[in-house]
Amino acid sequence: MLHYLTPIRRLLSNRHCILQCRRVKSENTAKSAALDSVLSSFRSICGEDAISLGQAVREQHGKDESVHRCCPPDVVVFPRCVEEVSALAKVCNNHHLPIIPFGTGTGLEGGVSAVKGGVCFSLRNMDQVLDLHQEDFDVTVEPGVTRKALNAYLRDTGLWFPVDPGADASLCGMAATSASGTNAVRYGTMRENVVNLEVVLADGTIIHTAGKGRHPRKTAAGYNLTNLFVGSEGTLGIITKTTLRLYGIPEAMVSAVCSFPSVQAAVDSTVQILQAGVPIARIEFLDDVMIDACNRFSSLSYPVTPTLFLEFHGSKQSLEEQVNITEYITQSNAGSNFQWARDSETRNKLWKARHDAWYAALALRPGCKAYATDVCVPLSRLPQIIVETKADLIENRLTGPIAGHVGDGNFHCLMVMDPSDPEELHRVHLFTERLARRALAMNGTCTGEHGVGLGKRALLCEEMGPMAVQVMHTLKNTLDPKNLMNPGKILQPRQL
């Protein structure tokens, strides 16, 4: 009996294969037709030269500066105005295509990876500075404007925008990731410096989070939609304009470098300086490994010990008072005499060395890659977590120079590792998990300024708790019911 069924089964199997091939061919034909239709719509909106299907361009837009692998989008579009962004979003919404906003690609948590394919909206062509209000100390910019470009534009106005994450990131991208940086201890993060946003939602709707054209210094009107989108990492909408607070350029600036015999002494000085009420502009910590790397990379000659980089802003009279108090505190913690940088050229060289810490760390092990961790804790717990982290690195034989904006409790380990060594990669992974949970155990956060992206989604749930994350899911589903906006970032898929 089985002998007679075998040919029939073979026939049925062949027929099934033929039908399956026809179905796949039909599906591919349908997909091809749908893609042609979408591309035709894109071309009608922004022109042939504003669309790219090239592999190199797609790969360039599928990766940031993190260790996360490249996930290129299916197509990259380059809109030139908010109307084009809105029209393109409507096409994507109608065809259920994921949308990934892209600024300058300087993120560190895989936030631009097209994990589900789709369309990358590269916003570099929207690069105008708009509506500068000098008397009101604010300005509106498009997403292609970077922080350096804005400050160059403001050079002759007596104003500047101080939020400085190191990289020359786009300002709308900085808003999307709630970036901060070296000046945050005095001037705050993006969250404190964004007044209004223009946002294109997943269905193409354009909204203004504080009302169109409005830029008051404060408001108590309704829900705080502005801060809902600040830090949303492109998962709720595309930021196409941001209105930012500006500040007067200080009358005088002085920078200094001070070395310490131990991590504890350096971090204790940081806490005591802040407790004394010194309005310090920047206070950055570099451990001995990091300062050695910076010395080599930037041709400096600082002692290879835990070190603070400091900067003071204000009038000449107020600077003298700030410096005297700070010198007294650092000396009481066995700090060395300050090495001063008073002229702009020397100060710029000093802070360039700090901003080049990433490349300096990489140079410690040529051919290796770097992964930057990022946690933040209450100031009272800062000495403990840095000392424990340093011990953890040494115990586990890891190269992880520490640098951080310790003035607000935020620091980074720049993990330099051999990507071809699975055992080392595993040790790095375990270390970063321990570091994040160490911060959470001290009532801190798993990410002070890098964002969640792909790498810290599980940690977000641990930090916020399931009910808060459920509220985030609800907000996401309301604003983006088809899950088209940068899918796979911040929130993990819901367990049904």
Which phi and psi (to 5°) does residue 172 adopt?
-70, -35
| pLDDT at residue number 309 | 94
Q: What's the mean pLDDT when you consider all of the chain?
A: 91
- Supply 171's token pair: 């300002």
- The b-or-e profile of 435-453 (16+ CB within 10 A means b, else e) is bbebbbebebbbbbbbbbb
The whole-angstrom separation of Cα 467 and Cα 473 is 10
Residue 154 confidence (pLDDT): 98
Instruction: Give CA 393 to chain center in angstroms.
Output: 24
d(CA 480, CA 237): 8
Residue 8: predicted pLDDT: 45
Query: Which of 130, 112, 109 shows the shortest CA–CA distance to 122?
Result: 112
Q: What is the pTM of this model?
A: 0.89
Cα distance between residue 360 and residue 416, in whole Å: 10
pLDDT of residue 426: 94
Give the separation between CA 212 and CA 194, rounded to whole angstroms: 14
Enumerate residue ranges in the chain where pLDDT < 50. Answer: 1-12, 18-19, 21-22, 24, 27, 31, 496
Task: For residue 360, count CB atoms less than 10 angstroms from its CB and return exposed for 0-12, middle for 13-18, buried for 19 or more.
Answer: buried
Quick one: tokens of 419? 């990507």
Q: Is residue 319 a contact partner of residue 306, using CB atoms and an 8 Å limit?
A: no
Q: Which two tokens stand for residue 343?
A: 């002229």
User: Residue 29: what pLDDT?
Assistant: 54
What's the pLDDT score for residue 27? 47
Q: What is the pLDDT of residue 352?
A: 85
Classify 339 as helix, strand or coil.
Answer: strand
d(C-alpha 56, C-alpha 83), whole Å: 27
Neighbours of 29 (CB within 10 A): 10
